[in-house]
Homo-oligomer: A and B are copies of this chain.
Amino acid sequence: MIEGLAVLGAAMPDLSVFQYNAVDNIFSMTVATMGAAALFLFMSRSQVDAEYRPALMVSGLVVSIACYHYFMIRHSWNDAYTLAEGGAGYIGTGAAFNDFYRYADWILTVPLLMVELVAVLRLPAAKATSLLTRLVIAAAAMIALGYPGEVIADPSRWTERVIWGGLSSIPFFYILYVLWGELTKSLDSQPLAARKLIEICRLVLLITWAVYPIAYALGGTPEALTAKAGGAVGAGGVVGLQIGYAIADMTAKAGFGVLIYFIARAKSSGSGEAAVAAA
């Protein structure tokens, strides 16, 4: 596995100036988006009823952690590349681009994403505890089982990668199944104003989460692994993967956090449409 990682690190494909900057810029934009979302979520706690403030607090933590990691991911990207002689493009410096930042981010933020969702639904305490325990364990298992496969770069070990991916998919689908079910069940007990938002929430969850296994699968086809092992990783693939993950992370964390805020606001007594109607 360690050798696999070394090969992966060295195999940074040559990029055009445009390709290098596209990834660099989307990382910077992700830092800005996550940072702004953190400010918004922390400061919006005063806009919702006291019982929804923990949900906003946790949402703010998720995007703060992501802001830090994207700042570091961008640094790692800058370190992995240098402008080629003459400025015609970017070539690898030999330093590895650190993919683990993203896993470190997921290890910390995915369980917190479960917490913020359960917190805003305001389920009965016993039910919330049991649900959260199951979701957090599943999230940890999903990430822990995905990582050994992600770092396999030897094409002859492709089936091993597929097995880790398959194992990781079990908790992945379990989480989506449980969350979809809980969100649907909760609809009846939620105020009217919150229902539409929870339906959107369910959809955002499904669409953004779908990006991760697709990216994992595309990055690990036998062809992709052979290309990586030969040091000939397709530049387009690397650029597409990084931009795809960044957009998915912005939607699944910052976008999701803003949705949590609107749900909390719709469910708060002293604010939102209820207050406007009363005025």
Residues on A close to B: CB < 8 A? 1-2, 5-6, 9-10, 16-19, 21, 24-25, 28-29, 31-33, 35-36, 39-40, 42-47, 50-51, 53-54, 57, 60-61, 64-65, 68-69, 72, 83, 87-89, 94-96, 98, 100-101, 104-105, 107-108, 125, 271, 273, 275-276
Closest residue of chain B to A86, judged by CB? Answer: B94
| 15 further contact pairs, Cβ within 8 A, besides A5-B21, A21-B98, A39-B60 | A2-B16, A2-B18, A5-B17, A6-B16, A9-B87, A10-B87, A25-B101, A25-B104, A31-B68, A32-B69, A35-B65, A36-B64, A42-B43, A43-B45, A46-B53
**Please, how many angstroms separate the alpha-carbon atoms of A28 and B68 in the complex?**
10
**Residues from chain B with Cβ under 8 Å of A33 in the complex:** 108
Known: A1-B18, A100-B25, A125-B276. A65 touches B32 (CB 8 A): yes
Q: Is the CB of B39 within 8 A of A64?
A: yes
Q: Is the CB of A107 within 8 A of B29?
A: yes
CB distance from A259 to the nearest CB of B (A): 15
State the number of copies, please: 2
CB distance from A109 to the nearest CB of B (A): 9
Q: Is the CB of A72 within 8 A of B28?
A: yes
**Residues from chain B with Cβ under 8 Å of A68 in the complex:** 31-32, 35
**Please, how many angstroms separate the alpha-carbon atoms of A5 and B98 in the complex?**
27
**Residues from chain B with Cβ under 8 Å of A17 in the complex:** 2, 5-6, 9, 96
**Residues from chain B with Cβ under 8 Å of A6 in the complex:** 16-18, 87-89
**Residues from chain B with Cβ under 8 Å of A9 in the complex:** 17, 87
Main secondary structure of the interface of A (DSSP, over half): helix
Closest residue of chain B to A60, judged by CB? Answer: B39
Known: A21-B98, A96-B21, A100-B25. A53 touches B47 (CB 8 A): yes
**Residues from chain B with Cβ under 8 Å of A44 in the complex:** 57
**Please, how many angstroms separate the alpha-carbon atoms of A96 and B22 in the complex?**
13
CB distance from A129 to the nearest CB of B (A): 11
**Please, how many angstroms separate the alpha-carbon atoms of A95 and B78 in the complex?**
12
Closest residue of chain B to A22, judged by CB? Answer: B100
CB distance from A105 to the nearest CB of B (A): 8
Closest residue of chain B to A85, judged by CB? Answer: B94
